[in-house]
Amino acid sequence: MKMPKRVRRYCPTCKKHTLQTVIQNKSGRKRGAMTMGQRRHERRGGIRGYGGFPKPKPEKSSRHRIKTSKKIDIRFECNECKKKNTYKSTFRAKKFEIVKIGV
């Protein structure tokens, strides 16, 4: 999906329509694979001899189906008051690009 770099939209701080810059928010730092409780469970021996005991096989479980797209987090920065506002409804997209269009 392509989106213009500058958009005229309503700024709740200025309480009027202004020119706003589109910014894609970067995802935060990823956490480790195991939680503290899982690490403790492994350290104490876990349940030895039962394979992957507490978890179902990934191919059998509906929880482990992989999504092919990510939710896009977009911010709009007002050019007058420099406040950043979020996009109310997030959406999924495989590709996202901010395009420069003369506004």
Over residues 7-15, mean pLDDT = 95
Over residues 10-16, mean pLDDT = 95
Domain boundaries along the sequence of the chain: 1-26+67-103
Q: What is the spatial distance between Cα 78 and Cα 82, in angstroms, rounded to a whole number? A: 5
pLDDT of 60: 67
Token look-up 């030895």 returns: 48
pLDDT of 64: 67
pLDDT at 103 over 60: no
Tell me the pLDDT tens digit for each residue of 18-75.
999 999 988 778 777 788 888 888 788 777 766 666 666 666 666 667 788 888 999 9
Architecture of the domain whose range is 1-26+67-103: Roll (3.10)
